[in-house]
């Protein structure tokens, strides 16, 4: 019984210890549950409040497809040697307003606009601002994918970009346009020329570290890597200082106001301010100084057709004929009689004026000396240029 009593004594000694340990185990269990609950709640809050910026970027293939649906191919005037008949544009409204580059391709009354799905639409130029190299074309369509000009982005040097265009006419139907990946290398003002003369636009541009400005690329779009609209790809131009080709695009912010004014019918074309260095001089050259009388300049874009050639003038000696169309002056594309006058006004005595004419389907280069001839301006047709003298005049 002594053993039993000892055992009972040991058991009685252990009971108080168990009672002392039980509250600690309960407290530890409650703390574990409380901590676990807090962790679960925190994870749920993070899942709910994670901002979109942490979402994975869209795949490039999806960006290319999305932007490509808003870019169109434009086919119009051209087709002769040295004049490609295609360019690019992009939709800015769902009902068919297209922004594109101002070029000879738009010299037709209507142009052909091909959508991403291959549909061919007839487009008409509804407005243009040559000072911005900008034009707006309208096609009759609805519910088209388009860019929102109000959501256009801006970029800084180092921004990765994508350039979309129909350069080299790689797409003529439902084929996708070309896409080039590059980086904005600089944001600066444009100092460039086409041929021998400065371009009218001297505003800010994005200079791109990629070969974006190719034949037909003008009017394409520059976007961010995630597809946000940045700028319109410009023409093929050379840097005035280095004589190297420039790959550039004009920010949408520079074009947006004019585009919206053209679409709403509130746009008024701007004119070049007079050149202070020559405005006061009376020795600027005009077509009549070379013996050229052009067709009446009655439209904004009256083609530079020769109406008559004064006998024994520089133009007559060079072989220029009535109905010749002047396409280039010293490598500068001539869009109209007005642009011809501006190009001739920049000539200096002693230069050699180089023209490219279109006669039928033939391109004819001619050269004329730039000297001040003894040809007086005429308001009425010259008798010697049109018909023999009236007999009564000789009496």
Quote the DSSP letter at residue 295.
Answer: P
DSSP state of 379: S
Question: What string of DSSP letters covers 144-159?
Answer: -----GGG-----TT-
For the chain, the distance separating the N- and C-terminal CA atoms, rounded to the nearest angstrom, is: 172
- pLDDT band with cut points at 50, 70 and 90 for residue 270: low
- pLDDT for 33-90, tens place per residue? 666 666 666 666 665 555 554 456 778 899 999 999 999 999 998 765 567 899 999 9
Give the C-alpha separation, 134 to 250, whole Å. 10
Total length of the chain: 395
**Confidence (pLDDT) at 41:** 61
Spell out the alpha helix ranges (H) of the chain.
Answer: 2-49, 60-68, 252-264, 314-317, 337-345, 383-386, 391-394
Q: What is the mean pLDDT of residues 339-346?
A: 87
List, in sequence order, the alpha helices (H) in 50-108: 60-68
Q: What number is the average pLDDT over the span 254-276?
A: 78
Name the phi and psi angles at 125, rounded to 5.
Answer: -70, 120
SS3 63: helix
Q: 18 phi and psi, to 5 degrees?
A: -65, -40
pLDDT of residue 302: 84
Report residue 133 as tokens. 């190299």
Q: Which helix (H) or strand (E) holds 367?
A: strand 362-369
Kindly state the average pLDDT of the residues 318-338. 89
Mean pLDDT over the full length of the chain: 80
Q: How far apart are CA 77 and CA 335, in angstroms?
A: 11
**338 or 240: which carries more pLDDT confidence?**
338
Hey, is 72 helix, strand or coil? strand
Q: Average pLDDT, stretch 189-206? A: 75
Q: Which residue has the tokens 């290398």?
A: 185
Burial class (CB within 10 angstroms; exposed 0-12, middle 13-18, buried 19+) of 240 = middle
- Are 293 and 378 spatial neighbours (Cβ–Cβ below 8 Å)? yes
Distance of alpha carbon 395 from alpha carbon 385, whole angstroms = 21
Q: Residue 113 and residue 73: Cα distance in Å, rounded?
A: 6
């Amino acid at each position: 019984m002594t053993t039993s009593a000892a055992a009972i004594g040991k058991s009685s000694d252990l009971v108080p210890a168990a009672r002392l340990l039980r509250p600690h185990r309960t407290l530890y269990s409650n703390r574990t549950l409380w901590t676990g609950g807090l962790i679960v709640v925190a994870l749920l809050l993070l899942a709910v409040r994670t901002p979109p910026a942490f979402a994975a970027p869209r795949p490039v293939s999806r960006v290319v497809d999305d932007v490509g649906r808003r870019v169109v191919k434009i086919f119009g005037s051209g087709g002769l040697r040295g004049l490609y008949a295609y360019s690019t544009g992009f939709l800015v409204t769902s009902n068919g307003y297209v922004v594109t580059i101002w070029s000879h391709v738009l010299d037709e009354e209507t142009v052909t606009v091909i959508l991403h799905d291959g549909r061919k639409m007839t487009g008409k130029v509804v407005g243009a601002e040559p000072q911005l190299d900008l034009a707006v074309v309208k096609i009759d369509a609805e519910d088209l994918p388009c860019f929102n000009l109000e959501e256009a982005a801006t970029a800084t040097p180092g921004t990765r970009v994508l350039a979309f265009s129909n350069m080299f006419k790689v797409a003529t139907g439902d084929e996708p346009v070309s896409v080039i990946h590059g980086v904005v290398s600089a944001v600066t003002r444009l100092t460039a020329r086409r041929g021998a003369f400065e371009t009218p636009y001297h505003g800010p541009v994005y200079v791109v570290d990629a070969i974006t400005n190719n034949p037909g690329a003008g009017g394409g779009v520059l976007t961010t890597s995630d597809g946000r609209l940045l700028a319109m790809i410009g023409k093929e131009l050379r840097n005035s200082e280095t004589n190297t080709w420039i790959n550039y695009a004009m920010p949408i912010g520079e074009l947006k106001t004019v585009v919206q004014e053209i679409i709403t019918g509130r746009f008024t074309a701007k004119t070049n301010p007079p050149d202070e260095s020559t405005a006061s001089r009376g020795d600027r050259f005009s077509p009549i100084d070379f013996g050229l009388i052009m067709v009446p300049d009655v439209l904004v874009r009256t083609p530079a057709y020769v109406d008559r050639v004064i006998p024994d003038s520089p133009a007559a000696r060079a072989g220029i004929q009535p109905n010749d169309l002047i396409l280039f002056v010293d490598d500068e594309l001539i869009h109209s009689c007005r642009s011809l006058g501006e190009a001739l006004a920049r000539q200096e005595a002693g230069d050699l004026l180089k023209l490219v004419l279109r006669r039928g389907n033939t391109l004819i280069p001619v050269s004329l000396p730039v000297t001040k001839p003894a040809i007086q301006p005429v308001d009425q047709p010259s008798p010697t240029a049109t018909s023999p003298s009236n007999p009564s005049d000789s009496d």
